[in-house]
Amino acid sequence: MQKVLEYAKTLDYQFLFHGPDHEKAFFNDINNEVLYIDGAVLFIEKSPLRMTLYPAFKDKMSFKKALGGLYRLYGEAEITIEVGEDKESEGLLNRMHTTFEEAGCMFKCENMVMRTKRLVGNRRTITDNVLPFKGDPQALYRLTTDLLDKETFNMDFDAFDAFLDDDTTIARCVTEGDVIKGFIYGVIYNEGKSVFIRGLGVHPDYRRMGISKKLMQGLFEEASKRHVHDSMLWVESSNTRAINLYKQFDFRPDGDKERHYIYRTR
């Protein structure tokens, strides 16, 4: 596997892992697979909810040929392809869009990174009703998977239950009786210095009531108690409402972008 990875990193176009931790986790999971042909390597990450592909290839034809081999492996299947760019490769995704389309990939969405170097924001609303969740985790899971698509929150219930119990997770909700109005999930990383906002959602019946701001405040309040200094998140580039919310908490675009394509084997 290591030799295949080294070969992939010599190819002209590389859309590999999110970082060293992701790369290590990929190779530690026996469910994941690698498809290698001359001129292309496809790293296929498998979970109960979806398959995600991270490609490296030398040209359009080798990429297209590698995708064609997926049918022999999986039959008819839908696979998410994740490709990204950073500040140094800015413009790469636009240049490669035609390549992905001609290979049979359907564009789904583009996300971008936003970061804040300090946990500040709109402090006008109180956060005393933003609390750790004490109700039925199945109900919270149902709402989470209803509001966040599987590209955003790729977990089955068992993984979600373990996620809630993890010491690095901050989960906060706004509830009224048995009704869950909204939730937010953060993950502590970077040796405890940073929090990644893993997901935020508000039930459609309770939107435009300031709940998103309260949830952000509740997350930041708990993160500050844990001596976290900064935060980052991914947001869909076209989601103006969410971007404006995050700007109130001092988040700014950081240059990294990611596109999701869907490939259906045939």
Query: Are both 96 and 148 inside the same structural domain?
Result: no
Query: Are both 127 and 196 inside the same structural domain?
Result: yes
Number of domains, the chain: 2
C-alpha closest to that of 200 among 182, 179, 180? 182
Q: Is the pLDDT of residue 75 over 70?
A: yes
Q: Is the pLDDT of residue 165 over 90?
A: yes
Burial of 177 (0-12, 13-18, 19+ CB in 10 A): exposed
Structure tokens at 201: 């959602």
**Where residue 34 sits, what CATH number does that domain have?**
3.40.630
Give the global pTM: 0.84
Q: How confident is the model at residue 226 (pLDDT cuts 50, 70, 90)?
A: very high
Q: Is the pLDDT of residue 124 over 70?
A: no
Separation of alpha carbons 5 and 169, rounded Å: 31
Q: How confident is the model at residue 153 (pLDDT cuts 50, 70, 90)?
A: confident
Query: Are both 18 and 97 inside the same structural domain?
Result: yes
Q: Where are the beta strands (DSSP E) in the chain?
A: 13-14, 33-37, 40-46, 51-57, 78-85, 105-116, 130-131, 169-176, 179-189, 194-202, 230-236, 252-264
pLDDT of amino acid 180: 94
Query: Are both 103 and 141 inside the same structural domain?
Result: no
**Where residue 122 sits, what CATH number does that domain have?**
3.40.630.30
For 176, the domain range is 118-249
Give the residue-averaged pLDDT of 152-160: 87
Q: How confident is the model at residue 154 (pLDDT cuts 50, 70, 90)?
A: confident
pLDDT of amino acid 211: 93
**Residues 187-216: tens digit of each pLDDT:** 999 999 999 999 999 999 999 999 999 999
Is 237 within 8 Å of 114 (Cβ atoms)? no
Name the CA radius of gyration of the chain, rounded. 20
Give one DSSP letter per residue of 104-147, joined into a string. Answer: TEEEEEEEEEEEESS-----SS--TTEE---S-HHHHHHHHHHH
Query: Are both 126 and 186 inside the same structural domain?
Result: yes
Q: Is the pLDDT of residue 162 over 70?
A: yes
Strands 13-14 and 194-202 come out as unpaired
Query: Are both 104 and 6 inside the same structural domain?
Result: yes
Q: How confident is the model at residue 126 (pLDDT cuts 50, 70, 90)?
A: low
Query: Are both 173 and 148 inside the same structural domain?
Result: yes
Query: Are both 162 and 182 inside the same structural domain?
Result: yes
pLDDT of amino acid 266: 81
Query: Are both 126 and 19 inside the same structural domain?
Result: no
Query: Are both 122 and 243 inside the same structural domain?
Result: yes
Query: Are both 127 and 237 inside the same structural domain?
Result: yes
**Residues 20-50: tens digit of each pLDDT:** 888 988 999 999 999 998 899 999 999 877 8
Query: Are both 56 and 167 inside the same structural domain?
Result: no
Q: How confident is the model at residue 149 (pLDDT cuts 50, 70, 90)?
A: confident
